[in-house]
Amino acid sequence: MDKTKTTRNTAAKTAVLEILTQSKIALSHTEIQKQTNDLCDRVTIYRILDRLVNDDIIHKIVNLDGTVKYAKCHHHAQRVHIHNHAHFSCEKCLEITCLENVKPSYIIPHNYKVNEINFTLSGLCPNCLNSNN
Amino acid sequence: MDKTKTTRNTAAKTAVLEILTQSKIALSHTEIQKQTNDLCDRVTIYRILDRLVNDDIIHKIVNLDGTVKYAKCHHHAQRVHIHNHAHFSCEKCLEITCLENVKPSYIIPHNYKVNEINFTLSGLCPNCLNSNN
DNA sequence: ACTTTAATGCAACATTGTTGCAAGTTAAAT
DNA sequence: ATTTAACTTGCAACAATGTTGCATTAAAGT
């Protein structure tokens, strides 16, 4: 909420961001925690993720099943970063990926003011679609 | 998952369904529980909701903030019920409503198989947009 | 009425996320 | 290089949400 505070670079923050940068898929808090190898407390990771989301460096994805994941955005064309792209959630391997080029078009009654959209598709990803078992 | 089991009508199930039928907005497990007035256990409501979702009588909505809500569908044109309509989540009053007529169009790479979509818009609903405070 | 099996209540547990506060660190100012 | 303000962390405690096992109850068909 408060965008006035300056945020600092710490070892834990750098580690979390590095993990997200390296990952091709979105990661949950727990998955990130496992990869940090007890570098810092569980709570600290929650707070780091909050900060990174607030600073528009990563974005938060809520899946159809309620799972919350985080992903770093690989495009930074605009100054102001709007996360209006789609996410794909594979029902088999459970991985969530950003479909940065897929953007929905829609018509909504004029008496609604839209600030944010969330568009998640679920089904089978290319990998699981090929390995048919 | 197992669609072969038959489901039974019980007092608790009827009550939960009635609450959802009466409501114009989507309700969370907790909100439903409050309205039941301790008719049944908390766990029972979870199980009833699972059953109703499985039987395609209600649908589950996961909001941007991770909140899970349930809503009864008011259209039943098709035999097979696909929940591809949009949901609107008001940032002010926190109410979630189904926008049954709003359906997104999109283009997705052919190597993905889409089974389900979730399209949630958030911002200000007509009510909160008018009362500008 | 009887039988089968789905549904329920209860207790216990698991997961996920939040908060307060003292102590530690960062980055800027001196 | 020191100092300093305030951001960050660890820890403990808590809260909310959802799940599981099992004995008991009740629905629906016969």
Of A68, A109, A125, the CB nearest to B66: A68
Q: Where are the domains of chain B?
A: 11-130
Looking at beta carbons, which residues of chain B come within 8 Å of A99?
A: 108-109
CATH number of B11-130: 1.10.10.10
Using CA atoms, how far apart are residues B112 and B22, in angstroms rounded to an integer? Answer: 38
**Of residues A67 and B65, more confidently modeled:** A67
Q: Give start and end residues of each alpha helix (H) in chain A.
A: 11-22, 29-36, 42-54, 126-130
Distances (CA, A) of B44 to A3, B19, B71, B97, B133: 43, 15, 18, 25, 40
Q: What is the pLDDT along chain B (133 residues), one digit of tens a residue?
A: 445 678 899 999 999 999 999 999 999 999 999 999 999 999 999 999 999 999 989 999 988 888 899 999 765 555 455 667 889 999 888 899 989 888 899 999 999 999 888 888 989 999 999 886 5
Using CA atoms, how far apart are residues A60 and A26, in angstroms rounded to an integer? Answer: 9
The answer to whether B115 contacts A62, with C-beta atoms less than 8 Å apart, is no
User: Could you tell me if residue A63 is left (phi over 0), alpha (psi between -120 and 50 degrees) or otherwise beta?
Assistant: beta
